[in-house]
Structure 1
Amino acid sequence: MAPEQRREQLLDAVLRVIVGQGVHKVSIDTVAKEAGVSRPVVYGHFDDSDQLLLACLDREEAAAVVQMATVVPMMTTDPIQAMADSLEHFLDAVQAAPDRWRAAFQLADSSTPAFRRRLERGRRAFTEALTAYVRAAAPSGQLVSVDVELTARLVYALFWEAGRLVLAEPDAFPPQRIRDYAAQLIPALPAFHTSA
């Protein structure tokens, strides 16, 4: 196997260990076993388990950033539809890379400050984009009465929890159920009311 392919194989194994056993179980031994290779093969690419974990997190974070670029709502004449489309794109991203997002949801609950800080950067960037969108989408006469930042955080929470549910409990919370609920919730938010 070419070195770059082997490296990707090992990082895939790290991701499976995180999802299947938890981030605390990432080690040279567990990754070698998961990848079906010997420890020397892993050591040929990574010095230790910290380097393995960091490389996996870097790769998955970069891929998640690319996915999230399609999620931020774009200003259109119908801000409610744009928000619904954004939720749809997020659910598609989660379902397209379920292990990436399962790992992200696990790391969000991690007691390790470094993991939480890493996820916080992404949360902050997405919330800032949502804040700018809500500010621009709110009818100008209502902007004074709309808590833009809180609305953006509420929408973020909707997206994040919807992603968790669609993976953790797909039978109870299929994407269509989430979409139907969002179609009722989003227009009810003060930022998207079209009449004063």
Structure 2
Amino acid sequence: MAEQRGRVYAPRMAPEERREQLLDAVLRVIVEQGVHKVSIDTVAKEAGVSRPVVYGLFTDSEQLLRASLDREEAAALAGMAAVVPSATVGDPVQAVSDSVEHFLTAVLDAPDRWRAIFLIANASTPAFRRRLESGRQAFIAALVTFVRAATPPERLSEIDVELTARTIYALFWEAGRLVLAEPEAFPPQRIRQFASTFIPALPAFHNPEALQ
């Protein structure tokens, strides 16, 4: 049999390993070219495989994109759940500062995942934004629980717990975006230092007696 020349074959992989390789390629396409560029062709090219290799695991580009978003969403939600500050730490300011630092570590450990999340958050496609909204609401709800537990009971009537939680959430979100978009201007240590001075200024954690 004559040897076939000029055709490059992808190395053999177990189906699960191949699937992860292709989903990694989807993520790179999203980050580098945009969600709208995800297709069987672009993913195959990015992964360095042929179209039949992709079709062996995914029926079309929609299933490919959905599988990638499912994977990244699950990982992001798990990461966010792991960094929710704990009111049992004792010092809520320290708890939030530590949580911001842990969140930024998670972002920097998986930069493409979080770049894709920040991109999708600004997407004009409602379906993509809805995927993020449930996770966002869950994180805010966890922060509401934290703020309520960390606020002295006698001060709860004067504190807007939900707005405080949403303010802390905004700090997390913007910090994650900045540490990727402008790493030299906004390194993690700068953001943590800001958090350690900003959080005590919030009414829920501000202690006027400490200033007397």
Distance 1:121 1:185 in 2: 27
Distance 1:70 1:85 in 2: 12
1:158-169 equivalences under 5 Å are: 158-169=171-182
Q: In the alignment, is the contact (CA less than 8 A) between 2:81 and 2:139 conserved in 1?
A: no
Name 1:10's counterpart in structure 2. 22
Q: In the alignment, is the contact (CA less than 8 A) between 1:72 and 1:126 conserved in 2?
A: yes
Name 1:44's counterpart in structure 2. 56
Q: Name the SS for the 2:90 alignment partner.
A: coil
Q: Name the SS for the 1:191 alignment partner.
A: coil
Q: Which residue of 145, 153, 157 corresponds with 1:132?
A: 145
TM-score, with normalisation over the residues of structure 2? Answer: 0.90
Gaps of 5+ in 1: none
In structure 2, what residue type is equivalent to 1:152? A
Q: Name the SS for the 1:37 alignment partner.
A: coil
* Bigger Cα displacement from structure 2, 8-17 vs 185-194: 185-194
Name 1:34's counterpart in structure 2. 46
Name 1:65's counterpart in structure 2. 77
Q: Name the SS for the 1:18 alignment partner.
A: helix
Q: Which residue of 177, 199, 211 corresponds with 1:186?
A: 199
Identity among equivalent positions (%) equals 73
CA-based RMSD of the aligned residues comes to 0.9
Larger radius of gyration: 2
How many aligned residue pairs are there? 196
In structure 1, what residue type is equivalent to 2:16? E
1:114 aligns to 2:149 (yes or no): no
